[in-house]
Structure 1
Amino acid sequence: MGQVNSTIKFQDTGYFSKIMSDYLEQKEPVEDFYGNFPDIEGFRKQIEEKSKAFDVSTRAVLTSCLMEQTEQLTLSALTKKHISLLKESNTYTVTTGHQLNLFTGPLYFLYKIISAINLAKELKKNFPENNFIPVYWMATEDHDFEEISFFNFKGRRIQWNKDVKGAVGRASTQDLGKVYGEIDAILGENKNAARLRTLFTQSYLEHGSLTEATRFLANELFGDYGLVIIDGDDKGLKSLFNPYVREELIKQTSYKEVSKTNEALGVNYPIQVNPREINLFYLDDNLRERILYEEGVYKINNTDLVFSQEQLLELLDSAPEKFSPNVLMRPLYQEVILPNLCYIGGGGEMAYWLQLKAFFKKVSVPFPILLLRNSVLLIDQKQRKKMQGLHISEKEIFLKQNDLIKLKVKEISDLNLDFTEQRKNLQAMFSDLKALSDKTDKSFTGAVLAQEKKQLNGLDHLEKRLLKAQKRKYREIVSRITKIQQELFPKQSLQERQANFSEFYEIYGDELIPLLISMLDPLKLEFDLISP
């Protein structure tokens, strides 16, 4: 494949928040809310910090649990080696996490894991005396099934209709035959389409739960690169987290620390997540409900379950698997059980991680490096030619649709559609009138200001009417601009947030993932535009 790869700054896309832009630029308002920055020097410091804080006994439990979780998988030699290496004190992980979206969900599922794979390789080059393992953390304990129960394929929504209660990872996949029928009808007849049919069948129709299906699928796609897949819904792993759950139940440490951070962070940025007094759920079959502390006892929300403190702590010791961290406690759970250096996520994830540094410090767990995952716009050769024919630059294609059309119509029009000079002249004239009224009769100032506003509004109206007329004149070009942008930004959103990997796998097949791995640099911290 002839390939084109270029990048633009995340900040220039218009799709990333102010807090993410400030983080990438290491601006002063955000600097107190993260630890080491994702560059080689930052990783050097992080390795030193984590090496002093991670216990060898934890490694033994981690390795044992991973071997048990993956015993039904056909693991690559590299993944087996990576799991074994986790016993060694010079082995570290770089981790990304994702929900158990049907058939991987949005395209960025790939980019998260590729970021982890490539970061592990880059760190090995720079620190050859250590080992670095890419990890995918499956969000098996989430309970928002509606959010993960569909994916988009060629503009169609493929929906799994099911009533799921409790942790989504435990949901049965027995009724996914109907969904497969929808996919089968849409897919083409080439070998790549056949491979996608096999992937879905083997993942979802030959495994009993959503956890098992997702683990199989991720291993099929990335096993050759040594990806280690972990399920936190595990009694052995949760036994390692027991002391932190105990502190949360008794002292509500996360609520106190995150609340203080939110107050400081909220001065400059919107707050992503607000803490609960207890940031834990009670987990059982078909049940995942908040643990509440009321009237001196612990209650399980929406149930009749009530525990004294002694009873709940006894349950924690005997059945730690019944305690499930929420969005603010899960990062701590991850960092306690993994020799982790870095968490890789999207902008929304990074924003709530930035709320947690003080909490981590309070419970004496090293805060990981935060890395904004790779983002990609895949543009095929025909689409790139269309952009060139319309004189749309790579940066311009990210503009909001109305802004892009307005810009291009102004460029091709034989009329001057920009009334900026007229506005300046009008404002200068009214400035003179205001000065005159101040010297003669100040009671006229209000009338002058009102007339200025009226005249400026009139200019705005005329400019809009003229632009509208020119859009009609160049409607064919406007239509072409609209079409190409809708192809690349479905629903006027980033492609990676809407499309599913299968749409591109059907075209590029087994070359897709190796191509992306070869072209993406996780530490460049820029948005990639790739034409396979």
Structure 2
Amino acid sequence: MIKDSLSFRETECFSQLICDYLDQDPKLKGFYNRFPTLENFKDQIAAKSNFSLEIRETLSNDLQAQYREAGIELKETHPTSQNIKSLKEATTFTVTTGHQLNIFTGPLYFVYKIVDAINLATNLRKQYPQYNFVPIYWMATEDHDLEEINYINLYGGKLQWNTSQKGAVGRMNTAGLDLLIEELAEHLGPAQNSKDLIAIFRKAYLESDNLAAATRVLAHQLFAEQGLVIVDGDRKALKAFMKPVFQDDLLHHSNKERVVEASKDLNQLYFSQVFPREINLFYLKDAIRERIVKKDNQWLVLNTTISFTEDALLAELDANPERFSPNVVLRPLYQECILPNLAYIGGGGEIAYWLQLKTMFAAQKVEFPCLVLRNSVLWIEPKWQNRIADTDLKIKDFFKPLHKLKAHYLADGMPVDPSLDEFETKIQSIFDELEQIAQLTEKSMLGAVNAQRQKQLNGLANLKKKLVRAEKRKHKVDMEKIERIYYALFPNASLQERHDNLSAIYPIEGVNFITTLLKELDPLSFSFRILRG
């Protein structure tokens, strides 16, 4: 295994906000509690040590029920079973990542997130052996954005699950995915690794009643031995603990004020990722997940005929808390209320919106977690390694936009600097002298001198373009080779991890892909990892 890494700033693929956060820029300190270092987790553990034993008991029992309902039988000695039971203990804490229920795992970073959670829990156990640490994957089962999760990119095309179902995606049945799995099998071919992956998908999607259960089975199969615990928040027993928070949001809208206040401060420095509403809850029932809005003295469920008076709303919340579904602003608070959690692991966009939420957490008296930027990975297969070596370019060069990459390659190979800066400097110097002569003889000549200056500079610029075009023609084959490599590493000019699916790598690497990630990814290294198969 050949490996390398770049800082996130070096890649030029991440926002200024994220790069400054990783540099622990003082101007961001007010937006989080503790930066995630192994040493800082000591104080994070202490801050979370009074977590409710009642919630621990309910959480552990409900998680056991979730696995049973998904058809997963956990033996007493299974690492996941042991972790679930340990959640009842005051010395157990969690580290969490979350993701949508993308079919077939979706983009590769789904895998990287979970590996980071597993590895962070492992590292914390070594640092603080008196405690237990459980890696959590929080499934976004209540999301209703089907178009974000119903496809994968593969080999330059797209495989898409078309269904007319509405509402929370976790509750949707998996009808139609059988046909998509067969189509995927044809694409992947008869190799054993391909067969193994298809078998994983078949077990997950063809033996499960809904997408939430299927995604649980899928993630459990991939990480069965690492003790990963998978949480579905769409549960009455868990949401019962959120009644006071939900009631406050429904009646007083105070969360909006708190997030808006923090967002204004952050916006002065960068930009906002999320925008809170007066009410940050959806009404969730059967195939309905629609926003709740207040109009006069009524609470309306948009796009339905459902409405509540205040008394009826509070009665509904008390009897059926599972029917109230938090949006992107309240979901993090829900998560931290029901988990003894120390850290949240997410991508750049997630970390950015979490930074808007600290004020809301403080007002609700909920400890704010450490925010861990997940590892990013570029996985390079041997054939592309060899082709990169043939170009004399470095892998770092390929992080440039394609036109800059080509220009960089041409500049290195041309006999003269294609920018022609030296010649422009000489022209400017000559005309500076001519301008002085004109001032001494006839000032009216200055206009003619400067016109001639501009004419010569324009001519030089045109000559530069012709030289570059000639060099491109000369290196046409090299340009085509570089372009093929670039799009292999950055499909659609985007990061591989945001575009490609597990199905692009697993048929070649098999389970070695997962084991390599578990070995190589350090969640607190804050680096962009380049791994070569």
Place the TM-score, normalised by the shorter chain, in its bin. Answer: over 0.9
1:313, distance to aligned residue in structure 2 (A) = 1.0
Aligned residue for 1:303, secondary structure, equals coil
Q: Which residue of 1 aligns with 2:357?
A: 356
Task: Note the residue ranges of structure 1 that are not aligned, 5 or more in a row.
Answer: none
Aligned residue for 1:5, secondary structure, equals strand
Letter matched to residue 29 of structure 1: K
Letter matched to residue 466 of structure 1: L
Q: How does 1:414-425 map to 2 (within 5 A)?
A: 414-425=415-426
**Cα contact 2:188–2:503 (8 A) shared by 1:** no
User: Closer, same or farther in 2 for the Cα pair 1:246/1:391, shift >3 Å?
Assistant: same
1:139, distance to aligned residue in structure 2 (A) = 0.3
**Cα contact 1:75–1:219 (8 A) shared by 2:** no
1:427, distance to aligned residue in structure 2 (A) = 4.9
Q: Which residue of 1 aligns with 2:31?
A: 33
1:412, distance to aligned residue in structure 2 (A) = 1.4
2: distance between equivalents of 1:422 and 1:175?
A: 65
1: distance between equivalents of 2:485 and 2:336?
A: 43
Aligned residue for 1:151, secondary structure, equals strand
Q: How does 1:179-328 map to 2 (within 5 A)?
A: 179-328=180-329
- More divergent stretch after superposition (326-335 vs 377-386): 377-386
User: Closer, same or farther in 2 for the Cα pair 1:475/1:338, shift >3 Å?
Assistant: same
In the alignment of these two chains, the number of paired residues is 529
Q: Give the structure-1-normalised TM-score.
A: 0.95
1: distance between equivalents of 2:82 and 2:141?
A: 25
Q: Which residue of 2 aligns with 1:14?
A: 12
1:41, distance to aligned residue in structure 2 (A) = 2.1
Q: Which residue of 1 aligns with 2:52?
A: 55
**Does residue 114 of structure 2 align to residue 113 of structure 1?**
yes
1:435, distance to aligned residue in structure 2 (A) = 8.2
User: Closer, same or farther in 2 for the Cα pair 1:246/1:467, shift >3 Å?
Assistant: same
User: Closer, same or farther in 2 for the Cα pair 1:469/1:245, shift >3 Å?
Assistant: same
User: Closer, same or farther in 2 for the Cα pair 1:416/1:252, shift >3 Å?
Assistant: same
Letter matched to residue 73 of structure 2: T
Q: Which residue of 2 aligns with 1:409?
A: 410
Deviation string 1:357-394 (CA, Å, 9 cap, x unpaired) is 11111111111100110111111222112111101112
Q: How does 1:364-383 map to 2 (within 5 A)?
A: 364-383=365-384
User: Closer, same or farther in 2 for the Cα pair 1:215/1:465, shift >3 Å?
Assistant: same
Deviation string 1:434-490 (CA, Å, 9 cap, x unpaired) is 889999999999998887666555544432332122111110111111111111111
Root-mean-square deviation over aligned CA pairs: 2.1
- More divergent stretch after superposition (477-486 vs 23-32): 23-32
Deviation string 1:369-428 (CA, Å, 9 cap, x unpaired) is 001101111112221121111011121111111111110111112343122223444455
User: Closer, same or farther in 2 for the Cα pair 1:28/1:160, shift >3 Å?
Assistant: same
Q: Which residue of 2 aligns with 1:145?
A: 146
**Does residue 67 of structure 2 align to residue 66 of structure 1?**
no
User: Closer, same or farther in 2 for the Cα pair 1:25/1:426, shift >3 Å?
Assistant: farther
**Cα contact 1:174–1:208 (8 A) shared by 2:** no
Aligned residue for 2:371, secondary structure, equals strand
2: distance between equivalents of 1:529 and 1:153?
A: 21
Aligned residue for 1:88, secondary structure, equals coil
1: distance between equivalents of 2:181 and 2:204?
A: 11
**Cα contact 2:282–2:327 (8 A) shared by 1:** yes
User: Closer, same or farther in 2 for the Cα pair 1:265/1:461, shift >3 Å?
Assistant: farther
2: distance between equivalents of 1:247 and 1:443?
A: 77
Q: Which residue of 1 aligns with 2:469?
A: 468
2: distance between equivalents of 1:261 and 1:444?
A: 60
1: distance between equivalents of 2:454 and 2:276?
A: 46
Q: Which residue of 1 aligns with 2:84?
A: 83
Aligned residue for 1:40, secondary structure, equals coil
Aligned residue for 1:70, secondary structure, equals helix
2: distance between equivalents of 1:292 and 1:440?
A: 79
Matched-pair identity in %: 44
Letter matched to residue 61 of structure 1: T
1: distance between equivalents of 2:441 and 2:47?
A: 73
Letter matched to residue 138 of structure 1: M
**Cα contact 1:75–1:223 (8 A) shared by 2:** no
2: distance between equivalents of 1:5 and 1:154?
A: 25
Deviation string 1:47-94 (CA, Å, 9 cap, x unpaired) is 111113x11111011111101101121336100000011011111000
User: Closer, same or farther in 2 for the Cα pair 1:408/1:250, shift >3 Å?
Assistant: same
Letter matched to residue 23 of structure 2: E
**Cα contact 2:162–2:176 (8 A) shared by 1:** no
User: Closer, same or farther in 2 for the Cα pair 1:211/1:472, shift >3 Å?
Assistant: same
Letter matched to residue 515 of structure 1: T
Aligned residue for 1:97, secondary structure, equals strand
Letter matched to residue 253 of structure 1: S
**Cα contact 2:64–2:84 (8 A) shared by 1:** yes
User: Closer, same or farther in 2 for the Cα pair 1:459/1:28, shift >3 Å?
Assistant: farther
**Cα contact 1:106–1:497 (8 A) shared by 2:** yes
Q: Which residue of 2 aligns with 1:345?
A: 346
Q: Give the structure-2-normalised TM-score.
A: 0.95
Task: Note the residue ranges of structure 2 that are not aligned, 5 or more in a row.
Answer: none
Q: Which residue of 2 aligns with 1:481?
A: 482
2: distance between equivalents of 1:38 and 1:454?
A: 58
- More divergent stretch after superposition (302-311 vs 233-242): 302-311
1: distance between equivalents of 2:383 and 2:532?
A: 10
- More divergent stretch after superposition (319-328 vs 390-399): 390-399
User: Closer, same or farther in 2 for the Cα pair 1:316/1:460, shift >3 Å?
Assistant: farther
Aligned residue for 1:241, secondary structure, equals helix
Aligned residue for 1:341, secondary structure, equals strand
- More divergent stretch after superposition (177-186 vs 230-239): 177-186
Letter matched to residue 277 of structure 1: E
1:241, distance to aligned residue in structure 2 (A) = 1.2
2: distance between equivalents of 1:129 and 1:205?
A: 42
**Cα contact 1:105–1:151 (8 A) shared by 2:** yes
1:296, distance to aligned residue in structure 2 (A) = 2.2
Letter matched to residue 65 of structure 1: D
Letter matched to residue 36 of structure 1: R
1: distance between equivalents of 2:108 and 2:241?
A: 33
- More divergent stretch after superposition (26-35 vs 239-248): 26-35
Q: Which residue of 1 aligns with 2:497?
A: 496
